[in-house]
């Protein structure tokens, strides 16, 4: 009697969950939505311009257009129920705005506007469009493609000190980009910034892609190609010659080795501690 009573409700819950997933823009299609591709490209290709006193970038323009509509849809439950983490992200921006308004009221619009768009906007894009295992794997694949495409540029930059992408962007009329980061050599190599403001940013970008490719694409991409791609990505991260990025990569390698060597169970967690 009890089982029969709960079965219709369980079917209804599953149907409701399926309906939410199907209505979301990041439903399980196995293809990364165009907006996410635009977001990632805007991250690695730093196109900028000025609107009065405001410094705008392609990333900020994209998020400025998309954040409010996506946030409204999130609150309306289009991407599943509103979770605590959603409220914490919004609360953080509200708190930061109040703090800035009290301490530096003349800089609220300039500073909080940019921070809110990039911080909250990036989260909302992921919350709305990465909603299934297939979506996440598509994201992992996109990061792999971006880092692998950056590898030739990184090799040239580390040998010559010339950030080719940034040089090309500076030649475009009416377009600005990040400053060239001329720093001392390490290991007789130039530090690679690629399209980022600082080499450490490029290194950390590669470190994020490293584990997402090696672990996230397991059983989805052939082992040989996955390992080769991971090695190239780690190499790109090394060319940033940043201790922070290198530490992140080595920590991930250590965790991957730990998970591979020891069988699942409570005992291996004690070994990690």
Q: Residue with structure tokens 């580390």?
A: 158
Give 85-113 pLDDT, tens digit per residue: 999 999 999 998 898 888 888 777 777 77
162 vs 26: which has the higher pLDDT: 162
Residue 54, beta-bridge partner list: 51
Whether the predicted pLDDT of 17 surpasses 80: no
Mean pLDDT of 179-198: 89
Give 202-238 pLDDT, tens digit per residue: 999 999 999 999 999 998 888 999 999 999 999 999 9
Whether the predicted pLDDT of 273 surpasses 80: no
Whether the predicted pLDDT of 15 surpasses 50: no
The CA-CA-CA angle for residues 120, 117, 173, to 5°, reads 145
Percent of the chain with pLDDT over 90: 53
156 vs 194: CA distance, rounded Å: 10
Q: What is the pLDDT of residue 127?
A: 93
Beta-carbon count within 10 A of 74 CB: 19
> Phi and psi of 96, rounded to 5°?
-65, -35
């Amino acid at each position: 009697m009890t089982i029969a009573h709960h079965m219709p409700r369980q079917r209804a819950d599953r149907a409701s969950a399926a309906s939410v997933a199907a209505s979301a823009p990041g439903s399980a299609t196995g293809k990364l939505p165009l907006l996410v591709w635009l977001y990632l490209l805007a991250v690695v290709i730093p196109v900028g311009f000025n609107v009065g006193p405001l410094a705008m970038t392609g990333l900020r323009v994209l998020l400025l257009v998309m954040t409010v509509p996506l946030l409204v849809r999130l609150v309306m439950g289009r991407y599943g129920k509103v979770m605590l983490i959603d409220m914490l992200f919004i609360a953080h921006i509200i708190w930061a705005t109040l703090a800035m308004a009290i301490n530096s009221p003349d800089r609220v619009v300039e500073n909080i506007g940019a921070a809110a768009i990039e911080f909250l906007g990036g989260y909302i894009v992921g919350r709305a469009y990465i909603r299934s295992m297939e979506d996440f794997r598509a994201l992992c694949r996109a990061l792999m493609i971006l880092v692998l495409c950056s590898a030739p540029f990184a090799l040239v930059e580390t040998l010559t000190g010339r950030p080719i992408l940034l040089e090309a962007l500076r030649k475009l009329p009416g377009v600005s980009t990040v400053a060239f980061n001329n720093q001392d050599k390490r290991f007789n190599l130039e530090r690679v910034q690629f399209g980022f403001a600082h080499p450490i940013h490029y290194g950390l970008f590669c470190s994020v892609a490293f584990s997402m490719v090696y672990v996230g694409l397991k059983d989805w991409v052939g082992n040989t190609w996955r390992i080769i791609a991971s090695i190239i990505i780690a190499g790109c991260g090394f060319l940033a010659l940043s201790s922070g990025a290198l530490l992140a990569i080595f920590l991930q390698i250590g965790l991957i080795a730990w998970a591979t060597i020891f069988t699942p169970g409570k005992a291996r967690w004690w070994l990690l501690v």
